[in-house]
Amino acid sequence: MPEQSLPSWNDGPARRAIIDFVTRVTDPSHPDFVRPAERIATFDNDGTLWCEQPKQTQFFFAEARLEALAEKDPSLRERQPFKAFLEHDLKTLFNLGKQAAFEAVFMTHAGMTIEEFNAIAKEWFATATHPQLHRPFTRCVYQPQLELLDYLRANGFKNFIVSGGGIELMRAFAEEVYGIPTEQVIGSSTRTRFEVIDGRVQMMKIAELGSFDDREVKTENIALHIGRRPILAFGNSDGDLAMLRYAKSGAGARLALLLHHDDAEREFAYDREFRLSPLVEALDHAADFGIDVVSMKRDWATVFPT
Amino acid sequence: MPEQSLPSWNDGPARRAIIDFVTRVTDPSHPDFVRPAERIATFDNDGTLWCEQPKQTQFFFAEARLEALAEKDPSLRERQPFKAFLEHDLKTLFNLGKQAAFEAVFMTHAGMTIEEFNAIAKEWFATATHPQLHRPFTRCVYQPQLELLDYLRANGFKNFIVSGGGIELMRAFAEEVYGIPTEQVIGSSTRTRFEVIDGRVQMMKIAELGSFDDREVKTENIALHIGRRPILAFGNSDGDLAMLRYAKSGAGARLALLLHHDDAEREFAYDREFRLSPLVEALDHAADFGIDVVSMKRDWATVFPT
């Protein structure tokens, strides 16, 4: 029922491109038909599935973790970049740049088992709220994207997250919020180590980067984790351009979508100047690469779930 | 219908342990109930799902690849370890040991895109036969395990391969043979690199190890790719012990199974002495770790598909 699908998407080029694409690849009599096992869709998370302003949720979580750690070790309050995080000093955070800022945060998540981290993250998500949107972070997701994930699933797609965010933080809420199970979440990761504690095997998070899942690394991680080229990819920044181009480069029907945050009234308006995840090249060259630009202002009837 | 399930498994302790476990974790009124999303089963491949004698299938494939490469570069015939592979020199191969032998092979698979490798592998599987079993390698899989994979799937489990074998070689047949899609195949991997060739993005296989997926690394890769502790794990060598212990160490009902190759008549009988993947510690300490040993001779009514 394409007419009833995606109710929070305005009738326009983006919604039509999505429905047209899904209709073609799921119609066995159409030359663009794709068998279900190949219907892989990959989504960036920060800024694509949920809000990433004024900074990515990972940093809000890190501040809470650092507050807890600083109670035991007050010297953290004087050491950069932790001092900046604790003082909500966005300028210092922006000057670090995306990868350095995220990496510093990941290191503060080490020294516990994966299961312990998961419990801490779930507890934080249960109460933490976005300071400007005044709603839980897990309700700062985009309603049109929840509908798109559902629509793709109903059409035999398997949805994956491929994000620069920490893999375990996303896994703590992705199943409940997006219906995406942990094994379909790819993200930046720190390494883990096999340890036997009280006779039981535990996977301990250690302060060593596995991969920073951004730009070309996203495609390397798709190759490693999924082993197939996505037929649909959705992003919102230059960090997603490699993934969008990878999806579009395959044979047959392909769809690559780029969300443009141009709606200061309902969310935020930003692109080139956002230091933690700029959108420049992907926007300037979207047409060259066959990428469809989604305008939040024009294409979305609703932004957040009610 | 537990009575009709697993027809190639003899009625005995192993079959009963499997059916009892699956019945408990899928019964919503049972205290051991596990919701579907958590029903993760991990299987080793070589020696667990298919035959690994007299050497793992990866080496047969590598010989064919090396023959093709040696036509262009005859010096390979004189360079070790390639000379040993080309001359089917098992002694030299065994002396290398598992990781070094596999790593040497992986490096010969570099220099092409993932999609090119996949096509070569599929072409090889279409015609290559096992020299002693006289059947295609893809028919050297174990019938009881095909039934077990089906039985678990029918009970809401998600099956994963977690093997020392090369991730892309397994992905070339796992879907067709085991019903396991590429994204549920974890294996040893070499790195890939984003390249633009004739304007299209390709993931190029490069000669650099990502991970050798054996022993404790199996549990690290489970943490990275799956992000959940399996509730069922099945292996056949010391290389699987960490994974079996990881599965058994979780809370709630757990099943860890170890296949013992004790059937020289229908397959091969080996354990301690198999240099490419010995079974010593896991067999000696199975009871200590709560691992159920499956005897091929006693527990399997049939070994190979007819």
Query: What's the pLDDT tens digit per position in B10-67?
Result: 999 999 999 999 999 999 999 999 999 999 999 999 999 999 999 999 999 999 999 9
* Chain B nearest-CA residue for A210: B224
Considering CB atoms only, which of A114, A193, A246 is closest to B201? A246
Which among B167, B225, B242 has CB closest to A194?
Answer: B242
Q: In this complex, is the C-beta atom of B38 within 8 Å of any C-beta atom belonging to chain A?
A: no
Query: Is A201 within 8 Å of B219 when comparing Cβ atoms?
Result: yes
* Structural tokens at position B105: 């092979």
- Report the C-alpha gap between B169 and A227 in whole angstroms: 11
- B115: which chain A residues are within 8 Å (Cβ-Cβ)? 229
Q: What pLDDT does residue B131 have? A: 96
The predicted structure's pLDDT at residue B108? 87
- CB contacts of A227 in chain B (<8 Å) are 114, 167-168, 171, 182-183, 185
- Cis, bond preceding A81 (omega within 30 deg of 0): yes
- Tell me the chain B residues in contact with residue A201 when contact means C-beta distances shorter than 8 Å: 219, 242, 245-246, 248-249
Distance CA B6, CA B19 (A): 9
Backbone angles phi, psi at A300, to 5 degrees: -110, 125
- Closest Cα in chain A, distance from residue B194 (Å): 6
pLDDT digits (tens, 9 = 90+) for B181-201: 999 999 999 999 999 999 999
The candidate with the shortest Cα–Cα distance to B177, out of B136, B131, B146, B152, is B146
Tokens of B120: 């070569």
Per-residue pLDDT tens digits for A117-169: 999 999 999 999 999 999 999 999 999 999 999 999 999 999 999 999 999 99
- Quote the crossing angle between the two packed helices B98-107 and B57-72, to the nearest 10°: 40
Place of tokens 């004698």: B53
Residues of chain A positioned with their CB less than 8 A from the CB of B226? 182-183
Q: Return the pLDDT at A2.
A: 54
B202 to chain A: closest CA residue: A246
- The ipTM of this complex is 0.97
The answer on pLDDT for B145 being more than 80 is yes
- Predicted confidence band of residue B3 (pLDDT cuts 50, 70, 90): low
Tokens 């956002």 sit on residue = A274
Read off the pLDDT of residues A213-272 as tens digits, 9 standing for 90 and up: 999 999 999 999 999 999 999 999 999 999 999 999 999 999 999 999 999 999 999 999
Task: Give the residue from B191, B201, B281 with the most A CB atoms within 10 Å of its CB, the best one to mutate.
Answer: B201
Report, in this order, helix, strand and coil percent for chain A, each rounded to 5.
40, 20, 35
Distance, in Å, from the CA atom of B90 to the CA atom of B70, rounded to the nearest integer, reads 19
Cβ–Cβ contact B285 with A under 8 A: no
Question: For residue A211, what are its two tokens?
Answer: 């991969």
In this prediction, residue B223 carries a pLDDT of 98
Q: Does A77 touch chain B (CB under 8 A)?
A: no
Beta bridge partner(s), residue A204: A113, A193
Provide the pLDDT for residue A282: 98
What domains does chain B contain, in order, with CATH numbers?
13-299 (3.40.50.1000)
| Exposure string for B176-209, b = 16+ CB within 10 A, e = fewer | ebbebbbbbbbbbbbbbebeeeeeebbbbbeeee
How far does A161 lie from chain B, in Å, by closest CA? Answer: 12
Residues in chain A closer than 8 A to B246 (CB atoms): 194, 201, 203
Could B167 and A228 be called an inter-chain contact, meaning their C-beta atoms sit closer than 8 Å? no
Could you tell me where the beta strands, DSSP code E, fall in A221-286?
232-235, 255-262, 269-270
Interface contact flag, B216 A226, Cβ < 8 Å: no
Closest-approach residue (CA) in chain A for B175: A37
List CB contacts (< 8 A) between A200 and chain B: 249
**Tokens coding B265:** 């008549």
Largest CA distance in chain B: 66
pLDDT, tens digit, for every residue of B277-305?
A: 999 999 999 999 999 999 999 999 999 99
Question: Per the omega criterion (within 30 degrees of 0), is the bond before B144 cis?
Answer: no
Q: What is the tens place of the pLDDT at every residue in A43-95?
A: 999 999 999 999 999 999 999 999 999 999 999 999 999 999 999 999 998 99
| CA–CA distance, A264 with B288 (Å, rounded to integer) | 62
B189 touches chain A (CB under 8 A): yes
* Percent with pLDDT over 70 in chain A: 99
| Whole-number Å distance between alpha carbons of A248 and B306 | 43
Task: For chain A, say whether B242 makes contact (Cβ under 8 Å).
Answer: yes
Is A103 touching B (CB cutoff 8 A)? no
Q: How far apart are CA B109 and CA A231, in angstroms?
A: 26
Q: Where are the beta strands (DSSP E) in chain B?
A: 40-43, 158-166, 185-197, 200-211, 232-235, 255-262, 269-270, 292-295
Q: CB B4: neighbour CB atoms within 10 A? A: 6
Structure tokens at B284: 């000696």
Would you put residue A180 in left (φ > 0), alpha (ψ -120 to 50) or beta? beta
- CA-CA-CA-CA torsion for B181, B35, A160, B218, nearest 10 degrees? -60
Dihedral-angle region of residue A197 (phi above 0 means left; psi in -120 to 50 means alpha; beta otherwise) = beta
- Closest chain B residue to the Cα of A187, Cα to Cα: B224
Q: Which residues of A touch B156 (CB under 8 A)?
A: none
Q: What residues of A are in contact with residue B228 (Cβ under 8 Å)?
A: 182-183
Q: How many helices (H) and strands (E) does chain B have?
A: 13, 8
A296: left (phi over 0), alpha (psi -120 to 50) or beta: alpha
Which chain B residues have a beta carbon less than 8 Å from that of A225? 183, 225
Instruction: List chain B residues with CB under 8 Å of A185.
Output: 227
Distance to chain A for B249, nearest Cα, Å: 5
CA distances from A259 to A188, A291, B219 (A): 21, 10, 37
Helix (H) or strand (E) holding A284: helix A281-284
Can you give the pLDDT at residue A233? 98
**Model confidence at A29: pLDDT above 80:** yes
